[in-house]
Amino acid sequence: MKALVLSAADAPLTVEELPDPVPGVGEVVVDIAAAALNHRDVWITKGKYPGIKFPAILGSDGAGWLEGRRVLLDPGFHWGEDPNAQSKAYHILGLPSHGAFATRVAIPRANVYEVPAHLNMEQAAALPLAGLTAYRALFFRAALKAGEKVLITGIGGGVALFAFQFARAAGAEVFVSSGSDEKLARALAMGAAAGVNYQTEGWAKQLKELAGGFDVIVDSAAGPGFPDLLSLLNPSGRIVLYGGTRGPIPNLNPQQIFWRQLNIMGSTMGNPTDFSNMVAFVSKHKIEPVVDSVFPLEEGQAAFERMAGGVQFGKIVLRV
């Protein structure tokens, strides 16, 4: 098979011929048609993940063909019995096992789902990990209800965009923030109630004036702006944190948390039930993943560079 291969930390990705995968017990081999990038993949190329072995085939998101059916892949393995948290054995497609940036991948049959009928293969490939993360954050963790006011920070990222689309489909009024006016404009065109640029002075006050307050905030930045987000929550509001791209939270006022009965909830990825529910939700609401750009597998290195640049709006897809 052909695969996009990382041969060493910081080396450019190249397409190589490798032996076909051999399915283990309970596994099937899926012919990949499209795959999508996640920030995790970029970090792995920098040697940031422990236990990496070269040559590595990355890629947590894939869609393709199995037995004549269009399928997409749940990237999670061994979540465990507890719906509230993953087991220590939990890991995802693309490291340590070979991932989806290849013409073929071996995966447990239980991880294979039918592609929602309204999606093409590139849209389907854009869905798994980001859709799963957004779905769990909004519904399993924050228990979002119709009519609530929601803020999605960092709109343009894969999870943020799915959270935006899912929350709107669930009947919430959804506001957004971004460091890019262009991304804000695109979110407004997609139905955002309003948006603010967090690089402008007084962004939190602007949001307060626009929205009043939020019932739910979905954030993956953390960092120095996090206390401002707390101040934007309504009493008993929930903020779901699924990342920390801006680093540690430097100064949190306990009174703000206890007096207003706030909830700070960590969330990461999701279990098979979350995945199954997410795919059903996408089918029911005919949600179309936002695809930023499509690169042929041979131009995978350029796709990674676009991801690292942070200018994308939606998922970056590889056509395999």
Q: Which residues would be at the binding site for a second copy (CB under 8 A)? A: 82, 84-86, 141, 220, 222-223, 226, 234-236, 241-244, 247-268
Region class of 251: left (phi > 0), else alpha (psi between -120 and 50), else beta: beta
Signed CA dihedral, 7, 12, 13, 16: sign only? negative
Residue placing its CB nearer to a second copy in the complex, 160 or 241: 241
Q: Residue 140 CB, nearest distance to a second copy (Å)?
A: 10
3-class DSSP assignment, residue 83: coil
Residue placing its CB nearer to a second copy in the complex, 24 or 212: 212
Residue placing its CB nearer to a second copy in the complex, 175 or 226: 226
Q: Long-range contacts: 64-67, Cβ < 8 Å, 24+? A: 64/30, 64/31, 64/32, 64/33, 64/34, 64/105, 64/121, 64/320, 65/30, 65/31, 65/33, 66/28, 66/29, 66/30, 66/31, 66/112
Q: Residue 262 CB, nearest distance to a second copy (Å)?
A: 5
Q: Residue 45 CB, nearest distance to a second copy (Å)?
A: 20
Q: Residue 27 CB, nearest distance to a second copy (Å)?
A: 27
Residue placing its CB nearer to a second copy in the complex, 171 or 266: 266
Residue placing its CB nearer to a second copy in the complex, 55 or 244: 244
**Structural contact between residues 98 and 60, judged by C-beta atoms closer than 8 angstroms:** no
Q: Is 49 exposed, middle or buried (0-12, 13-18, 19+ CB in 10 A)?
A: middle
Residue placing its CB nearer to a second copy in the complex, 96 or 247: 247
Alpha-carbon distances of 108 from 48, 80, 128, rounded to whole Å: 27, 15, 15
Q: Residue 282 CB, nearest distance to a second copy (Å)?
A: 23
Q: Residue 263 CB, nearest distance to a second copy (Å)?
A: 5
Q: What one-character DSSP code corresponds to residue 155? A: B
